[in-house]
Chains A and B, each alone.
Chain A
Amino acid sequence: AQSVTQLGSHVSVSEGALVLLRCNYSSSVPPYLFWYVQYPNQGLQLLLKYTTGATLVKGINGFEAEFKKSETSFHLTKPSAHMSDAAEYFCAVSRTAGNKLTFGGGTRVLVKP
């Protein structure tokens, strides 16, 4: 079985500050890992994903994440927060039959001016 834990349901950052969202997973097989963003009243949009290869993955909007197998983590970072980054962020894992995504509980990011 797979599971995902996102530490911190809410994160507040100042504009221009580092954004760090934590994600830890549990998987009996090498996982595929995803970060999605959900803006208010919208669907989910893929930020980035890790399948194989380079463990540092760059995504859209200046976000990146690093897969650390030894720590079973896939934390998401952005060096400088922008007001438009205010949204809900979801970490997810897949590698099971049917390609189903198992999501973490989500982290809401608030950006202060």
Chain B
Amino acid sequence: DTAVSQTPKYLVTQMGNDKSIKCEQNLGHDTMYWYKQDSKKFLKIMFSYNNKELIINETVPNRFSPKSPDKAHLNLHINSLELGDSAVYFCASSHSRLRGLGETQYFGPGTRLLVL
């Protein structure tokens, strides 16, 4: 049973294209996140949703648009892809902070995006 799953695992595309990455969690969590890991392995949060509501939106270009159809899914759509978007994108989930403090985030396997 995969707790946090992402599709696709690999994505190779041309500059200017639009692509989506899907994330699903079966842990019963109500908070989900997107993180970006660059080529130097640096990890930075992009977005967070709690119960389908956007609660964190870091300084991410508006070409990136997250969508949460329900609390088990958080998708990431990227318009007009650029070379600099090449990275590994990780989805994560956790219980809400309202449940307790320091909730553990569980990460998906990542989507490796390469923009040519």
User: Residues on B close to A: CB < 8 A?
Assistant: 4, 31, 33, 35, 40-45, 48, 50, 55-56, 90, 92, 94, 96-97, 101-110
- The secondary structure that dominates the B interface is strand
Determine whether A24 belongs to the interface, using a CB cutoff of 8 Å to chain B. no
Contact B41 A88 (CB under 8 A): yes
Contact B103 A99 (CB under 8 A): yes
**Distance between Cα atoms of A99 and B50 in the complex (Å):** 10
Which residues of A61-113 are within 8 A (CB) of B? 88, 90, 94-95, 97-103, 105-106, 108
A-B contact pairs, 30 of them (CB 8 A): A34-B102, A41-B110, A42-B109, A43-B4, A43-B90, A43-B110, A44-B43, A44-B107, A46-B105, A46-B106, A49-B102, A50-B102, A51-B101, A88-B41, A90-B43, A94-B102, A95-B102, A97-B55, A98-B55, A98-B97, A99-B31, A99-B97, A100-B33, A100-B56, A101-B35, A101-B43, A101-B45, A102-B45, A106-B42, A108-B41
User: Residues on A close to B: CB < 8 A?
Assistant: 32, 34, 36, 41-46, 49-52, 88, 90, 94-95, 97-103, 105-106, 108
Contact B55 A46 (CB under 8 A): no
Contact A98 B56 (CB under 8 A): yes
Contact B101 A32 (CB under 8 A): yes
Contact A106 B41 (CB under 8 A): yes
**Interface residue from A41, A42, A88, A99 paired with B105 (Cβ < 8 Å):** A99
What is the CB-to-nearest-CB distance from B103 to chain A, in angstroms, rounded to a whole number?
6
Given A98-B55, A100-B45, A106-B41, 15 further pairs, Cβ under 8 A? A32-B101, A42-B109, A42-B110, A43-B110, A44-B43, A44-B92, A46-B105, A49-B102, A51-B101, A94-B102, A99-B31, A99-B97, A99-B103, A99-B105, A100-B48
